[in-house]
Structure 1
């Protein structure tokens, strides 16, 4: 049965793998096929030190005084082996209370520096860690902290990242009710897999049954539900993966999100998964097996009415997507982040909070923002940022690009854009540039074509010396980098 089901997708998979090999020969994909996600520009691991004074000295709030708000809660029951974030593990009720107090003070310090008594939210995202891994009274306290400081009168979406186990049973249903009562309307459930063996290898503390129960309960409470899955995981096979996605499309959720396993740290912590790969290379899917999983999932999702609405996220209706992600990555709108490792992505600058718990507490106790890295973007960085994030996630509108940078997109990166068009990765018309289906499949690599050489994730010799080597034609204006 599985062999038959897999064979249904082999024509598409074979075509995609042939394209992968061709693009690799052009220098578009590094020789080993390794992967680095383009989530921010520059990548978070590459930001220099920055003080709060340097971040805010010349900053002016947006004209409409609206922000997208991110809130971070860095606690988990146990560490998933794929996780690249610093978290505290276990119950730690006392430290959770300490963290909530510091978090509350951080918001107050930020608002005081910006001159606000309330922050007007465009959208809200609460992430972690496991932000629902709080006792019920702590969860309500946290939501009250946000509620008393955030004006939600024009907030279009209130999203919460959640763990399946924290949603089930009597206590889990009480959490769902509390979140709903405070205005939360979208849940991203970290399912990761519905295969029991894969979940065990991930060191997840739930099985498929708990995940399915959590999804059903979240839908019952009326939330818009997005479920996440990781592909390319150790021990995972194409047949197992197809079973998972074919089960997922029948669950009645609005959105299904796919993540390729990341071995290298892309944030503040190197997850155990890199060590696991080194210890057990024999169970690591090959790059071609991993890409086959991605293509099979796309075919299954498309066949059941799910289309890619925002990069990596598939939905049946165009209105179902993360407003927070769209506003930050496509709209390039001002976003403020609070909590350990949280970042603030502003129109022309970026600030990143410390990843160290003790430093976080100490800075806030001294009435200082817990920020330690970031930059006020140069013109070169602003131009690249204004291409990379929108192009990867949806498209770059030429009129908006000129508004954000002061330059016409028609005068920027023309050799690079023409090469990507020639090789079927990019399309362009009078109004916009956007990825083709082939470009969307390799969206991270397309985005890295526009990185400054100092911010390309892999060395130049790791790529073939072809027409799409990212180090070629890397100048913004075709002649030189700008300052």
Structure 2
């Protein structure tokens, strides 16, 4: 397990690229045998801890009873707009489809009321933003008038004077033609400066398999329009999707690196739901398994993309996000997942992550409207973490996305020492070449970064493991063997 990703751009022949990708499959199989990765090869993305599918019901009063505002009063703020032109077959979140303009008006009005309820609950006149992300759904799938109304009402409730970045997740079709340019200009006028464009593929056959309503030409036009108006651009891709082959995947990445964008983001296709809706992709896998790339091909696609990105000057900045310049990244993601800073979420299925607690909004449109109309925040699931779960949370998200600073771990866990809490576990993972202790921080190695989701699941409590114990081989990295947070003296002394 010694495959290394070069620090400087290096040109590989296609044969070398394929050889490196095949070697990574061997690494993957060895880690399966060691118990790190579930035997089926399925994966569970470590986006939150505990995972969002595992929270118990929560009441507003209980959730906020002991909460106090952060010392600087700043929040990273998310707003969710769950409307799309059509359903992408890989999507695992509830959305409403089609024009539905009256429904959008109703939803945007409820979103305003929810923000007002939050401000009343927190005792503030405006919310002070550190960074902002607007997502969906397709949050730009609004009329120009609706988009303007949303941005106006949002900016009245959110103080953007200290905001370092205003992000939008967008769809290519909403950014093309005269209306798309008008939409982009409107967003710029309200301070939006970074876009994540949901490209997903640059292969027309794969786009059709995904049920995307755009082609390659529309994507290129959207990127060009966004670039001309001065946005920082992140484009995202899914690998392991039906219709993808090693050859056409390499063509997609080679085209992507030729575009004038600052960031390129990779997602592995997730078949089983990890959100509030089971995407149609599960039925496709069941009915047409022959259309799915094999596990080996999917692993090779990931390594091929990493090498092609690296040799064209793109390097992993946040996990799965590659940029040429380290200053180009999502401040929202970095603040939430690495800085562990307080974040508020508004809208259907949105979440709020507040220091030692986490709450999710309802996934049901009618419940969302009813709760807000009755003066209630639309929370329905969440947790106030125990000291033990707080320690796990303080490792899982930072390690997965960048690194764990030992001093920061101590600060957010009330004085715990990382080495005393997880020393044996850290040594075990270091012994297997998955992480490295650099004195003041712990970071993943290139191999560890490749399987980052599984590495950080070693720090999960048993109640929050993504798969049952029998799903893993009985090796030295079997996650159920090491679920406690107390030290293991025999290992620490070794």
| TM category, shorter | over 0.9
Matched, 1:69 2:77: yes
1:11 deviation in Å? Answer: 2.2
Q: Which residue of 1 aligns with 2:389?
A: 381
Aligned residues of 1:46 and 1:455 also touching (Cα < 8 A): yes
Aligned match of 1:197 in 190, 205, 208? Answer: 205
Q: Which residue of 2 aligns with 1:371?
A: 379
Q: Number of matched residues?
A: 477
Aligned residues of 1:81 and 1:202 also touching (Cα < 8 A): yes
TM-score (norm 2): 0.95
TM-score (norm 1): 0.98
Matched, 1:327 2:327: no
Unmatched runs of 5 consecutive residues or more in structure 1: none
Once the two structures are superposed, residues 381-418 of structure 1 have per-residue CA deviations (whole angstroms, 9 ceiling, x without a partner) of 10000000000000000011001002000101222111
Matched, 1:438 2:439: no
| Aligned positions of 1:134-283 closer than 5 A | 134-283=142-291
Aligned match of 1:420 in 405, 424, 429? Answer: 429
Q: Secondary structure at the match of 1:69?
A: strand
In 1, Cα distance between the equivalents of 2:26 and 2:290?
Answer: 24
In 1, Cα distance between the equivalents of 2:23 and 2:13?
Answer: 18
Matched, 1:465 2:480: no
In 2, Cα distance between the equivalents of 1:440 and 1:169?
Answer: 40
Q: Secondary structure at the match of 1:477?
A: coil
In 1, Cα distance between the equivalents of 2:28 and 2:174?
Answer: 40
Aligned residues of 2:41 and 2:295 also touching (Cα < 8 A): yes
In 1, Cα distance between the equivalents of 2:15 and 2:363?
Answer: 46
In 1, Cα distance between the equivalents of 2:295 and 2:277?
Answer: 24
Once the two structures are superposed, residues 180-233 of structure 1 have per-residue CA deviations (whole angstroms, 9 ceiling, x without a partner) of 000000000000000000000000000111011101110011000000000000
Q: Which residue of 2 aligns with 1:285?
A: 293
Q: Which residue of 1 aligns with 2:5?
A: none
Aligned residues of 1:416 and 1:474 also touching (Cα < 8 A): no
Matched, 1:317 2:303: no
In 1, Cα distance between the equivalents of 2:237 and 2:203?
Answer: 11
Matched, 1:45 2:50: no
Q: Which residue of 1 aligns with 2:133?
A: 125
Q: Secondary structure at the match of 1:352?
A: strand
In 1, Cα distance between the equivalents of 2:393 and 2:410?
Answer: 13
Matched, 1:429 2:419: no
Unmatched runs of 5 consecutive residues or more in structure 2: 1-11, 490-494
CA RMSD of aligned residues (A): 1.1
Q: Which residue of 1 aligns with 2:369?
A: 361
In 2, Cα distance between the equivalents of 1:6 and 1:46?
Answer: 43
In 1, Cα distance between the equivalents of 2:487 and 2:40?
Answer: 29
1:81 deviation in Å? Answer: 0.3
Q: Which residue of 1 aligns with 2:4?
A: none
In 1, Cα distance between the equivalents of 2:236 and 2:375?
Answer: 37
In 2, Cα distance between the equivalents of 1:147 and 1:124?
Answer: 11
1:429 deviation in Å? Answer: 2.5
